[in-house]
Copies of this chain bind each other. A is one copy, B any other.
Amino acid sequence: MPMDLQAGRRSCGVDGAAAAARRVIGALVRAGDISGADMADIADRLNAVADDLEAQAPPLRDRLVNMWRGDGNTRHDPATGPENPIAPPLAYVGRPDGSIESTVTLDLPYQGPPSSVHGGVSALMLDHTLGVANGWAGTSGMTAELTLRYHHLTPLFEPLTVTARQVSVDGRKIRTTGAISANGRPCVTAEGLFIAKYPPRPR
C-alpha cells in the first residue's frame, strides 16, 4: 500500500496562515505593477501583520528546539513545509518498491524561463525529494554532491510528478536518483551522493 509520508497537515493554526501567505505571494507576482490594486495599502496591511507576528515571536533558540522536535523537520522546510509559505508545498507518497512520488503544480513565483519552472527551483525540489527518498529507504544523510540534468523545459501551470529512489548504500555513501516529469516525459533528472551523517538537533 502506498503510504502518505507527511506529518499532520492542518487547515488551521500556522498552517492556515502559511497557506494564506502563499496566496498573497502568488497574487503579488501575478499583479506586478499592472494591477489596479493599491500597493501602498497592501504593503501597510502586510507590514501590520508582520508587526503583530514579530511582537509575539518566540525567542529564536526556543523556536529552533521546537521546530526540530518529532516530525518538525517536515513541517518548516522550504520544499514540503506546511508552515513555510515558500514551500509549494510538496507532499509525498512512499511506495512499497522503495520510490516516493509527489504531484505538484507551480505558478508564477517559481518561474525561470517564460512559463517554465526555474532550474534552481527544480534543483530545490529534487534535492529535498532525494533526501526524503533516503528516509523512506531507511538510511538518511547530508547531500555531498548533486548533479542535475535539464532535458526539457519544465512547465508551470500543469501537474508535475516529482519522484526519487535510493539506488545504493556503500558504507556511509548513499546514492539516490530522481526526476521531475510532465505528461510522462522527464524534464529534469538528478543524481545525488549523500553521506550518512547528520548534525545534532537543537535541544
- Chain B's nearest CB lies how many Å from the CB of A92? 15
Asked whether, in the complex, the Cβ of A114 is within 8 Å of the Cβ of B39, the reply is no
* A150 neighbours in B (Cβ, 8 Å): 142-146
Asked whether, in the complex, the Cβ of B118 is within 8 Å of the Cβ of A124, the reply is yes
Asked whether, in the complex, the Cβ of B118 is within 8 Å of the Cβ of A146, the reply is no
A120 in complex: contacting residue of B13, B52, B126, CB < 8 Å: B126
* A28 neighbours in B (Cβ, 8 Å): 14, 17-18, 21, 53, 83-85
Q: CB of A54 within 8 A of chain B?
A: yes
Q: Which chain A residues (142-162) contact chain B, with CB distance < 8 Å?
A: 142-150, 153
Q: CB of A57 within 8 A of chain B?
A: yes
- Chain B's nearest CB lies how many Å from the CB of A186? 14
Asked whether, in the complex, the Cβ of A119 is within 8 Å of the Cβ of B143, the reply is yes
Asked whether, in the complex, the Cβ of B149 is within 8 Å of the Cβ of A145, the reply is yes
Number of interface residues of A (CB under 8 A): 92
Asked whether, in the complex, the Cβ of A120 is within 8 Å of the Cβ of B127, the reply is yes
Q: Which chain A residues (33-65) contact chain B, with CB distance < 8 Å?
A: 33-37, 39-40, 42-50, 52-54, 56-58, 60, 62-64
* A45 neighbours in B (Cβ, 8 Å): 45, 48-49
* A27 neighbours in B (Cβ, 8 Å): 49-50, 53-54, 57
* A78 neighbours in B (Cβ, 8 Å): 109-111, 118, 120-121
List 18 extra interface pairs beyond A34-B63, A116-B199, CB under 8 A: A16-B39, A16-B40, A20-B47, A27-B54, A30-B63, A32-B67, A33-B83, A45-B48, A45-B49, A63-B108, A77-B111, A78-B120, A113-B199, A119-B143, A123-B124, A144-B149, A145-B148, A146-B150
